Structure 1
Amino acid sequence: IYGIVGLLMLAFAQFNFIFHIQPFSQWYFPIIWFGYIFFIDALVYKLRGKSLIYNRPKTFIFMLLLSAAVWWMFEGIGWMIGNWYYTGIAGFGGKAASYIFATISFATVIPAVFETFYLLRAIHLFDHVELKRKHMITKRFLRLLTLLGLVFLILPLVAPLYFYPLIWLAFFLLIDPYNYIHKRPSVIGHLKDRKMTIPVSLFVAGMICGFLWEFWNFWAIPQWHYNIPFVDFFHIFEMPALGYLGYGPFAWELYAMYHFIVGLKRHK
């Protein structure tokens, strides 16, 4: 039944872009994205006989909490590099309400990407995507990736004008090698076994969510806008076309962060 509820939430939010019924118009983001999450989860359950929300509700709640924390971290980075900003938030009537709205909205990011990933896995779209040969994963290679991740994290903070895109790979490069070393799920591990189903499915899930984030944002009252040096042309909705390339690696980052934190919990 929550799949039907999700579909109704999606439909209502979509139509409300036209009618602007308040306060729902102001709170469109959590309405439309929780609707999306519920609907996609129900589809996954229909296809696989199991799903995140139905079978692992505690994991789903954990994802919501982690997602809010992770995106608040990215908001801090965004404040420092200045690539995006928000308009239309005055309608919340105060900072407390706007922070509540933001936190609830940010909580949907990781679940949305993971649910899309689970759907792609359920329809077996990329099951046969493989590398031509296996790749050796050496300690030197892992150290190099980690060092590169550290550099990718620092450079956008000290020289954001030139290095801002690197932030969308930094955490993946920092964390995924650690996950691989500690035998946790990792993208890098699939370079060794040649099977690219998970990396490609994650990348595409990030691109799908990225497109939907931008599409629904374009019609909304609270909106984000971009200030992206050098590539601020040929916009698809608010986002410059080249900016969409960041959504695939962003999904890898979320995957790495999630399994890193889960690993820490289990270690305790």
Structure 2
Amino acid sequence: MRNILLKYLIAVGMLIGLPLLGIALADIPLRIYLTFPPKTGYIIHAPFSWPAFIGLSIFILIVTIPFILQWVKAGALIKPGQLKSYPFPWWGWIGVVAGLMAWTLAWTRFPWFARFQQHTFILLWLSYIVVVNALTYRRKGTCMITARPGFFLLLFPASAVFWWFFEYLNRFVQNWDYIGVSFSPWEYFRHASLSFSTVLPAVLGTREWLSGSFRIKERFKSFIPLYFIKSRALALIVLMISGVSLLCIGLWPNYLFPLVWVSPLLVIVSLQILSGEFHLFSDTVKGDWVFVVSSALAALICGCFWEMWNYYSLAKWEYSIPFVHGFKIFEMPILGYAGYIPFGLQCAAIGNILENLFLQNKEAT
């Protein structure tokens, strides 16, 4: 247990300390990055660039096309009728009704609801979490809420901490900021933490539902094997490059902003490979991509709901993405949705860590 904690303390130290160290070494005042609630406007973002947009689009297509082709590939599939299904639970219908009510309240401006208008995000996502668990129960006969209630509840405080870390990294790139409401520091922390607490339960709940998909199982159980993923030398190189990049993220935010979504995953997985632990990509050595694909798709699905529900809400966020800020779907530039893919993998990696720690603690007691 001590070695595990040490390893993750190293990861946290790198992810939190290196961006600040880079700013300090460049003799840039740290206070503007540590103001709370966070202030925006101290980073000038690069304007839209067609070469950058086209180049990033090509890169995204190169990465995703093999998976898309595998998804649509002709061949025998288990017919849905061959799979056992279970009744949709009664509490799932409560989630559906609550979600529709919360959605209506989020996108309207009833005078009698004005006092609570800024809190609709948490209502929407609690409803979503209940519904996606109900869908999982209907597909599998079990779900996190019914089978692992302790772990399910643990995800909420862990999720708040998890997303606060991304808020911290965003200070060095300022790719999003919040508008529509104004809070004191304590109110901001309290309100934001409640909203952030729904991220992991939503993404991991969606992944659990997707992992029972017959199409994902059939298509990605035997896919491209990544033999090199076991290489400790490669893991060390990736860890070193990630460290240097994090050191520089605040110095060149227009070029290194994707690290917000990639660096935590690279650091965590690299450390796990170096210590010989099971990690997110372990099964890909034998070509099994079910866990990876379902995790990425889960975040992409949640991302679509995040952006949609955000669009007409009172308390909302806006984006400023260097070079590719164009062709928006809701508030998000279209290429920005690609960021949800590595984000889903990070959620899965953190979920695995939490589940292992939870099980170890349960066994110890």
Question: When the two structures are superposed, what TM-score results if normalisation uses the length of structure 1?
Answer: 0.91
> What's the CA shift for 1:62?
1.1
Which position in structure 2 is the counterpart of 1:54? 146
Alignment of 1:1-268 (within 5 A): 1-16=90-105, 17-20=107-110, 21-90=113-182, 94-127=184-217, 128-129=219-220, 130-133=222-225, 135-136=227-228, 137-180=230-273, 185-263=278-356, 266=360
Q: Could you give the per-residue CA deviations for residues 112-152 of structure 1, whole angstroms, max 9, x where no partner exists?
A: 11011111112233113133445142221222232233234
Do 2:235 and 2:270's aligned partners in 1 also have CA atoms closer than 8 Å? Answer: yes
SS in 2 for 1:228: coil
Q: Could you give the per-residue CA deviations for residues 194-246 of structure 1, whole angstroms, max 9, x where no partner exists?
A: 11111111111111111111111001000101111111111111111111110
Higher deviation after alignment, 228-237 or 142-151: 142-151
In structure 1, stretches of 5+ residues that fail to align are none
Do 2:225 and 2:288's aligned partners in 1 also have CA atoms closer than 8 Å? Answer: no
Q: 4+ runs of 1 displaced by more than 6 Å?
A: none
One-letter code aligned to 1:78: N
> What's the CA shift for 1:45?
1.2
> What's the CA shift for 1:263?
4.2
Q: Could you give the per-residue CA deviations for residues 86-119 of structure 1, whole angstroms, max 9, x where no partner exists?
A: 11122x6x44333222111000001111011111
Higher deviation after alignment, 79-88 or 34-43: 79-88
The number of residues matched between the two structures is 266
Alpha-carbon distance between aligned partners in 1 of 2:149 and 2:188, rounded to the nearest angstrom: 27
Distance 1:9 1:262, change over 3 A: same
Alpha-carbon distance between aligned partners in 1 of 2:207 and 2:278, rounded to the nearest angstrom: 14
Distance 1:152 1:44, change over 3 A: farther
Higher deviation after alignment, 37-46 or 149-158: 149-158
Alpha-carbon distance between aligned partners in 2 of 1:80 and 1:138, rounded to the nearest angstrom: 31
In structure 2, stretches of 5+ residues that fail to align are 1-89
Do 1:184 and 1:259's aligned partners in 2 also have CA atoms closer than 8 Å? Answer: no
Question: When the two structures are superposed, what TM-score results if normalisation uses the length of structure 2?
Answer: 0.68
RCO (CA 8 Å, sep 6+): is it higher in 1 or 2?
2
Do 2:151 and 2:355's aligned partners in 1 also have CA atoms closer than 8 Å? Answer: no
Distance 1:260 1:158, change over 3 A: farther
Q: Percent identity?
A: 29
Do 2:203 and 2:298's aligned partners in 1 also have CA atoms closer than 8 Å? Answer: yes
Whichever of the two has the greater Rg, that structure is 2
One-letter code aligned to 2:246: L
> What's the CA shift for 1:183?
6.1
